[in-house]
Amino acid sequence: MRKNQKLETIVPQWLENSKMRVKESTYVKYVNLTSNHILPLLGDIEAECLTTDTIEQFVQGRLNSGNKQGKGLAEKTVKDLLLVLKDICRYAALSDIDIPCRFELIRIRGNDSEIQVLDKHTQLRLERFLMRDVYNLKKTGILLSLCMGLRLGEICALRKGQILYKDGILQVRSTMQRIQNFNDEVDWKGRENRKTRVIITSPKSACSVRDIPMPEFMVERLMRLKTSDDNVFVLTGTSKKFVEPRTFENVFKRYLMECNMDIVNFHALRHTFATRCIEKGFDVKTLSEILGHANVNITLNRYVHSSMEQKRKWMSEMTLGVMY
C-alpha cells in the first residue's frame, strides 16, 4: 500500500481483510457504517491527514446530526464508528502509513438518553396479561425477556434443546437477526437475490453465551412445548418455521395496544428486568453474567442509579441520625 492514499482507497481493502476475520453480521455492519458515514465525509481525506481534531469533529457531527432526518445518531452507533475508524487506521499502519490521530484522546460527548423502563404498575398489568394464556408461545417469549432479561434475537433463535428442564437452566447459545444480503445465496425459503436475509449465529460476544437459572413458573410454562424434537423454535413449536425479530417486536407492540399501554421498544423489557433486579439488591456481578454483558462496568453504568424515592429514603435516614 503506497503512502498518500485517501481513505476511499484504504476502506475497501480493509473491508476485504475484515471479511475473513469477523462474523457475517459484523461485516454487514462495517459496510453500512463505512458507506453511510465514513466514506461520504472522510473518504476524500488522505490517511496521513487524519488528525485527532478531524476525527473529533466527525464524531461530534454524527452525534449532533448524523441520521437521515438530521438528528443525532445514537451514542452506541458513534462508538461503533470510532472503533471502525480505529481499526482502519490500525490496518493502514501495517503498511507504514503514519496516521497522526490519537484515538485515546477522543471522548464521545453524547446526550445520555434515558433507558426505557416500565413502571411497576405497568409491569404488573403486562405480566397479568401475559400470564393469562399459558399456551401462547409468543407471550411466553415476551416473559423470557421481562423475567429473565433475554435479548430479542436470543428469544427468536431459542430452541427446545437449549432448555434443560431437569436442571431448570436455559442455555443462550444463538441469536437471530436480519442482515443485508451481499451474497448470491438463496434465503431459507429458496428465493434468490433477496435484499436481506435472516441468519442465526452465535451470540454477539463470548459473554453472551450463558446459562440462566429459570424461575419455577417459567420451567412449568416451557414444559407445554409438547414435542420430543429439540430443534423446534420456542416461539413457534416447530422447526420448520420461526419468528424473526422485527415480526416479534410488532407482536409485542400489538399486545401493548391491547392492554392500552404506551408503546415502548422490546429492549425495554430487558431494561425493566435489570432495573428490578438492582432495586431488589441483586449482586451486580451475578446480574452482569445473567444479562451477558462483556463486563460489570456496563451493568453498573447502565442500571445502578438511585431513584428519587431511594434518595429521599436515605436522606431522611441521615437527617434522623443527625437530629437524634
Tens-digit pLDDT profile for residues 62-120: 988 888 888 888 888 999 999 999 999 999 998 888 889 998 888 876 555 668 999 99
Comparing C-alpha atoms, which of 299, 302, 289, 148 is closest to residue 208? 289
Please indicate, yes or no, whether the overall pTM of this predicted structure exceeds 0.85: no
Q: Say yes or no to pLDDT of 224 above 80.
A: yes
* Fold of domain 120-303: hpI Integrase; Chain A (1.10.443)
The residue ranges of every structural domain in the chain are 7-105, 120-303
Q: Say yes or no to pLDDT of 307 above 70.
A: no
By the 8 A CB rule, do 89 and 143 touch? Answer: no
* Fold of domain 7-105: DNA polymerase; domain 1 (1.10.150)
Q: pLDDT category, 185, cuts 50, 70, 90?
A: low
Q: pLDDT category, 163, cuts 50, 70, 90?
A: very high
Q: Name the H helices within 66-166.
A: 75-93, 120-131, 137-148, 152-157
User: Regarding predicted confidence, which is higher, 220 or 227?
Assistant: 220
What's the pLDDT at 202? Answer: 92
Query: What gap in Å lies between CA 195 and CA 174, rounded to an integer?
Result: 23
Comparing C-alpha atoms, which of 132, 100, 152, 96 is closest to residue 268? 152
Q: pLDDT category, 188, cuts 50, 70, 90?
A: very low
